[in-house]
Structure formats: structure tokens, C-alpha cells
A and B are shown apart, each in its own frame.
Chain A
């Protein structure tokens, strides 16, 4: 890589988005661990303290929607969402590229919807109060908005890279089908 490439705005943006994606994945992982702790605490309190906290159930559910939307956005960047790839494998490279382009535009458009209508839902429910958690009901929809922002960013990155002629689709063709990658990572462990 030459120094001019390394400092090109596109490459710099790519590095920033890579960092955002890694950060999202780590936050999501921490969310999963925290969720485990929360439900375990619920069981512990019921049996040992004989006093169940009423916030663990809604709290764990809210953490779950955070880590799903963060993880789903990372999935757009890493392309691990489950899809029906048969036609893609049958098509020549040029055609494939355009079908993948459509899919990325679809994801981008849906991300816009998540941000727009998610914000509307936050507004609609902002004056309600969630029982037990005692925070605004609008928080239910904040992960939706945040996930939408990230999905837009990551889908847009793929669109821009493809338009700039980057070979992002060639890399995909050599990988196993997207949906398998996540589990294969688990399968390829020390035997």
C-alpha cells in the first residue's frame, strides 16, 4: 500500500468504520455477558435472598435489543446475514455485483426507515414511563435507531467501495456462504 492510498479519504473512512464495527461487536459481547449476569442474579435473588428484583426481566430484554441491533449492523458490514445465494452462485461476476448492489441499497433504505420511524416511535413513547425500570418508554426504541444509523453507515460503505472499484465481492466469492461463516469460526477450533 502506498502512502497516498493509506491517507486517501476513502481508506481513512474505512479505518474509522472498521473501528466502529469492532467497537459495536465488543459492546454487543459485553451486553450478552451482562444479560447473563442479570438473569443469573434474578435466579440467585429468588432462591438465596427470597426477594426477586422486578427490573431484571425488562432490563435483560432491553440489553438484548441493544446487542441484536449492534450485532445485526456488524453483520451488514461483515456480510453474515442469512440469504438465498443460489442465483448468486449461478451468475457471472458482473451480474452478481449488481445483485449485491441492490441488496446493499435495500439494507441502506431499511436502515433509513429504522432511523426515521424509530425516532418517531421514540417521540410517541417518550412521555410514557416503563414500569420497574422507571425510565422513559422511548428507550425501548433507541436501540432501533442506533442500529439503523450503523446499518446505513455500513451499507453505504459497501456501496461506495463497490462504486470505487474495490474488489469487495471477489473476496466474498471465495468465502463459504455468509450464514455459515459465523458458526464455522466455532467449528474450526483446536481439535
Chain B
């Protein structure tokens, strides 16, 4: 009965359009009342679920992303990517993906990336005769690269959800090859779709121009080296690196590019406050929700029922992936990680999966979920920028989904893609 109240209230409220944060909170509240527990536990979990030092990375990386877009760093990266890969078939689609890869190396938020890269690329692509659906799908799928490449605050959320005993530096490193593999798969897909649709190529501006654009973009791109190098060489912790990203973005836009006005700064700050408050409120409410799941022993029941299905690790991993894809369709990334890590990680580890490897699988899996309706923040942003409906985008997204699922399969069943690089750094 208490399970019915917990999940039933959540589903009902979600269907009538109540913000997810309040769906989670009120469902937990109702269940606690039914169980006769002191209701203050819901509010305690809400508060302490978000009062975690490592979560500071979320506002900082979102803030850094907003500052980089407002202050013109992102635009300079687009110009460099355009000069580099614009001459490949479906040129601007390739530019979009390379930009997303470069920007993904300095930003951790796929939503911010879709807004940043999409805001710059989609209007240009439409103007050059690309279908809006193509522009939107390339943007939304490429934005997921930000989740895999360091910095990635979702990996930090995963590490916290796993009890904080997984090295964040290792998780960051483990995401690099899967991120690049995913970017390559998207570029190939974008190429074939562009060819079948007869999209144009851009003229190659010459190596001198590429060099010039690279030089202009370098102060922004240096952030990749600062974040990854800083964490790996022990100058600062993973969480501190997000704060350094904010300072660096401010420094570059104020003193190097001199492109940040006071109103840009205020806009970026308020934008970051809005986005973070939204994300972290959900994380806090999800903490209350998952406390109840632990209290009601849901994970143990699930492990038992999965064991009943199969003992084969390959089947179990497939099963976990399908379940996570299903959950990711309906839920947002942060809360899904918080709720699913304590449930699935022990199962996966029981079958010999490395926790770092499992983190990469989970991030890519839930990342794809950010591009699936009904709850898909990245897809919503890309569609809103492209001014098309989600259903229009869905009609032609399938080749890109396929690319994503192929990479997910490879990452799941070839652990070396994730684990080789962290091993090299040890």
C-alpha cells in the first residue's frame, strides 16, 4: 500500500503537470503520513540532500557555461570548429558536433550546451537550407557529449550517490574515450543523413584561417587543459575545479576578450541561479523520495526479482540498461542517478562490473533519456531554439538514436573503452 501511495501520487501529480520537484516531495510527504512517521524527515532529506559540498559543482559549471556563452567564448569556439570541419558533407552539422565536443570539454551541462551551441548553430543551419529537424536533432544529440567529457557534474552526483567511494578523477578520465567515440558516431551519422538529404558543404578556408580561428579561440579552449590538468595534477579537487572554471570564464571575458558587460554578467548570474535552483530542488526532493525507497527496502526487492530472471551478467547488464532507458524516458538525469545508483550499482558490482565503468554506462544511458519525450530537457531546449515541436524532431531522430544505442552497447560490453585511460593515468 505504501508503495502505491509513493509511486501513485508521484505519477498522478506528474501527469497533471505539477513540477517534478513537488511531485517527488508531495509523494514522499503523503507516504510518510500514511506510515505514521514524523513528517519532518521529508524536509530534512530535502535539505540535506542538497547540502552537499560536492554538489557545488552544479551551480559552478552551469554558471561557467552561462558566462562563456554571454561573454562570447562559445561563439569563438564555433568559428574555429566551422573553419576546421565545415567542408565535410553536411558541413554545419559537423561543425555543430565538433563545437559540442570542444565546448563539452569545458562545460558539464548538456542542457546549457544545447542552449549555447544550438543558439548559435541552429539559426545558421536553417538559413543555409538545412531542415530544422536535422539541426535540432544534431544539436540535442551532440549536447550529450558534455556529460561524458570532463568536467561532468553528473559523474559527481553518481559518485556521491554511490557513497562517495568512487574516485571522481577516475570517472572524469573514464568518460573521455566514450565521449569521443560517441562524437565520432554522431559525425558519421550526420554525414550519411546529410548526404541522403543533399545538404551543402562549406568551402575550406585554408590552414592559415584555421590557425587564426584557433588562436582566437585558444583562451577559451585553455579551460579544458586547466580543468583536466588541474584535477589530475592535484592543484585542486574536482569540485574546486568548477569554481576555477567560473573564475577563468570571468577573467577571459572581462580582460582578454573584453566582451562581458555588466548586464551580460547580471543576466548570466540570474540565469545560473534559475537553472541551478530548479535542478537542485529536484535533487533535494529526490533525496526524500529515495530515502523512502530505502526505508521500504525497494532496492532489495528489485535485486531479488532481477536475480530471478537470470544469472548471466550479460543479460543482467542488458536488463539494467533497458530499465534505465525506460526510467530515463520519464525522468530527469540528476534524480534518476540519485534514485538508481543505490539500486543498480550493487547488482552490477555483484556481477563483476567495475563501479567506474558502470558510472559511464549510466551517464550515457540517462543522457540519451534527456533526448526522449515526455521528459527530455535537452530535446526541449533544442526544439525551442529551432522553433519546432518535439514531435517534429522525433520523426527524423531515429538514425541518431541508433548511433547512441550502438555506442551504449559498445561502452556496456567493452569495459576497456572506459577503463583503459584511467589505468594509464594511475
Q: Do A and B make up one complex?
A: yes
Interface residues of A (CB under 8 A from B): 25, 28-29, 32-33, 35-36, 39-40, 42-43, 47, 57, 60-62, 64-65, 67-72, 74-75, 78, 80-88, 99-100, 102-103, 106-107, 109-110, 113-114, 117-118, 120-121, 124, 140-141, 143-144, 176-180, 182-191
Q: For B52, give the chain A residue with the smallest CB separation.
A: A61
Q: How large is the interface on B (under 10, 10 to 19, 20 to 34, 35 or more residues)?
A: 35 or more
A55: min CB distance to chain B, Å? 12
B19 at the interface (CB under 8 A from A): yes
Please indicate the chain A residues that have their CB under 8 angstroms from the CB of B148 in the complex: none
Interface of B: prevailing SS = helix
* B267 adjacent to A32 (CB under 8 Å): no
Q: A35-B59, A80-B278, A82-B282 are in contact. List 9 more A-B contacts (CB 8 A).
A: A28-B277, A36-B246, A60-B53, A65-B50, A70-B277, A81-B20, A81-B22, A184-B381, A191-B75
Please indicate the chain A residues that have their CB under 8 angstroms from the CB of B46 in the complex: 114, 144
Q: Of residues 118 to 159 in B, which have CB atoms within 8 Å of A's CB atoms?
A: 118-120, 123
CA distance A106 to B15 in the complex (A): 14
Q: Of residues 258 to 275 in B, which have CB atoms within 8 Å of A's CB atoms?
A: 264, 266-275
* A82 adjacent to B17 (CB under 8 Å): no
In the complex where A25-B270, A82-B282 touch, is A189 in contact with B69 (Cβ < 8 A)?
yes
Across the interface, B43 reaches (CB within 8 A) one of A144, A177, A183, namely A144
CA distance A29 to B275 in the complex (A): 12
CA distance A32 to B17 in the complex (A): 29
* A186 adjacent to B22 (CB under 8 Å): no
CA distance A70 to B271 in the complex (A): 14
CA distance A84 to B22 in the complex (A): 12
B116 at the interface (CB under 8 A from A): yes
A131: min CB distance to chain B, Å? 14
CA distance A28 to B267 in the complex (A): 13
Across the interface, A100 reaches (CB within 8 A) one of B17, B47, B55, B274, namely B17
* B22 adjacent to A121 (CB under 8 Å): no
CA distance A83 to B20 in the complex (A): 5
Please indicate the chain A residues that have their CB under 8 angstroms from the CB of B307 in the complex: none
Q: For B46, give the chain A residue with the smallest CB separation.
A: A144
Interface residues of B (CB under 8 A from A): 13-22, 25-26, 29, 39-40, 42-44, 46-47, 50-53, 55-56, 59-60, 63, 65-66, 69-70, 72, 75, 111-112, 114-116, 118-120, 123, 235-236, 239-240, 243-244, 246-247, 264, 266-278, 280-282, 284, 330, 332, 373-375, 377, 380-381, 384-385
Q: For A114, give the chain B residue with the smallest CB separation.
A: B43
Please indicate the chain B residues that have their CB under 8 angstroms from the CB of A185 in the complex: 267, 271, 274
* B280 adjacent to A68 (CB under 8 Å): yes
B288: min CB distance to chain A, Å? 11
B417: min CB distance to chain A, Å? 30
CA distance A78 to B273 in the complex (A): 13
* B53 adjacent to A61 (CB under 8 Å): yes
* A109 adjacent to B26 (CB under 8 Å): yes
Across the interface, B56 reaches (CB within 8 A) one of A43, A64, A83, namely A64
CA distance A123 to B375 in the complex (A): 39
Please indicate the chain A residues that have their CB under 8 angstroms from the CB of B384 in the complex: 176-177, 180, 184
* B21 adjacent to A182 (CB under 8 Å): no
* B377 adjacent to A82 (CB under 8 Å): yes
CA distance A186 to B274 in the complex (A): 11
* B243 adjacent to A40 (CB under 8 Å): yes
* B385 adjacent to A184 (CB under 8 Å): yes
Please indicate the chain A residues that have their CB under 8 angstroms from the CB of B17 in the complex: 83-85, 87-88, 99-100, 103
CA distance A143 to B280 in the complex (A): 14
CA distance A191 to B120 in the complex (A): 6
* A-B pairs with beta carbons under 8 Å apart, 27 shown: A32-B63, A33-B269, A35-B56, A39-B60, A40-B243, A61-B51, A64-B56, A65-B51, A72-B281, A74-B277, A75-B277, A75-B278, A75-B281, A82-B278, A82-B377, A83-B14, A84-B374, A85-B17, A86-B374, A100-B17, A107-B18, A117-B40, A182-B274, A183-B115, A187-B69, A187-B118, A187-B381
